[in-house]
Each structure stands twice: as structure tokens, then as C-alpha cells.
A and B are shown apart, each in its own frame.
Chain A
Amino acid sequence: MSADQGVAVVDRTRCVGSGMCIVYAPGTFAHDAEVKAVVLDPPGDDLETIETAIEACPTSALRLGGEQEEQ
């Protein structure tokens, strides 16, 4: 995936660690030690798969961010 397509952004206050994103895009999402979703670098799925995972988040904790938000 090229950078100008944006990357997934995790809202850690909304993430409850349900693991839905890992079901749909296991090449892109993982859990950290606090069981919050994190985005692997580089993301290992195509954009459509990542969008499916973002839409699947039950607590609306994920969105597709722009390149400039990455820092």
C-alpha cells in the first residue's frame, strides 16, 4: 500500500481490544501489551481489506487517516 492512500489510525480510548480488526486484516493489525489495536509497519493487507477491518470495529475505534496525520 502506498503512503498516499493513508493508514489506519487507532483511537486508543475507544479500542477495547475486541480483536475484530485482527480477524479481518491480520496482516495489518495486532494488539500491544495493553491489548489495544496497533497498526503493523508496513501494513500487510490491501486497502480494501483494511477498510473492511476498519468498518468491522465494533466500537468505531478505527479510521483511515491521511498521510499528514501519521506523525
Chain B
Amino acid sequence: MMNLSTLPNALPNEKVVLFLRRHWIDLIRIFFFSGVLFVLPVVVGTLIEFANPDLIAHVFWGPALVVTLVAYLLVILVLTLTEVTDYWLDVWIVTTERIINTEQQGLFNRVVSEVYLYQIQDVTSEQKGLLATFLTFGDVFVQTAAERERFQFKNIDNPEDVKIAIGGLAKTCKNTHGHAVHHEEEVPGE
């Protein structure tokens, strides 16, 4: 397991400032869709019982339905757990020196990247949509001078505050390294 107090390749006096996960609404989405899929057999079972009650008591199709139901429930459960794992392992760690981006893409793909705060050129926060505005979640984009994809903090809580925090940390870090930082802000609805 990863220990926040002993990060890999930690620099001297490096401290964790922010530990971020996706907003809890993503977890609600997962459980909502899983809930619908778990309830589906009840609906189908009721329809079968209504349309053809003999089917459940049938010598072959009765057991076949039970087997299908057990298999279905196990598959849905494991898919739900995989989504929860994906949610749990998508983390962004902001320290006094760098940002560590860890993204779990499915069960067999994992991307870990990091950017040093003095490399940051631009920090952008973005909240799109009614739900994101009300629940204050959204994305934060961190752009560096290097020709690489910009860092994206996906669906995090309070992206505005995170943007300000990263901007402040980057500024402090850049002063140490003798550079300046530029902040950009996107206001929802504009």
C-alpha cells in the first residue's frame, strides 16, 4: 500500500498538502446504475411470473433461470466492485514540490505521472453543468511548459479552491526557482 508519509522519490522536506479523489457523486452514479441492474431481475421475474407462471416451475427452464440469476448477480457485483476500485484508486496528491497523478483505467491499466510545481505554467478550473455547479465539483487542468498532455484532476470537489491552492504552491515554488506563474479561471456559464 502507498503511504502518504513516505511518498516514492520524496524530496527533503516535501509535505503532502492535498489528497484528492473524485467527488462522491461519481460513487453515487456507480451505485445507482448497479442498483438498477440488481433490481432488473426482480422486474423480469415478476414479468415472467405474470406472463408464464409455468416457466419458473418448468423442469429445465426453472433451474436454468436460477443459474442465470446467480451468474448475473455475481457478474454485476464484480463489475460494481471494479468500478468502486477504479474510483478509489484515482487519486491526486499535491505536495509542496509536485503533483502526483494516479489513474486506474479499468482493472489492468494504471497510469502514474507527476509534475513538479515549478514546471506549471497554467492552472484552470472548470465546472460544467447544473449538478456540478450545485455540488461544487469539476475538473482542474494543470498545464506545464513541456509538450505533454495537461494534467487533469477529474470531477474533484471544490475545483476552484484546488486551483487556488495549486496556484499558490506553484508560485511559492517558482519564487524558489526564479519563475512566475499564470492563473486562468473559467467561470461556469460563460
Do chains A and B stick together as partners?
no
Which residues of B line the A interface, CB within 8 A?
A: none
Which residues of A line the B interface, CB within 8 A?
A: none
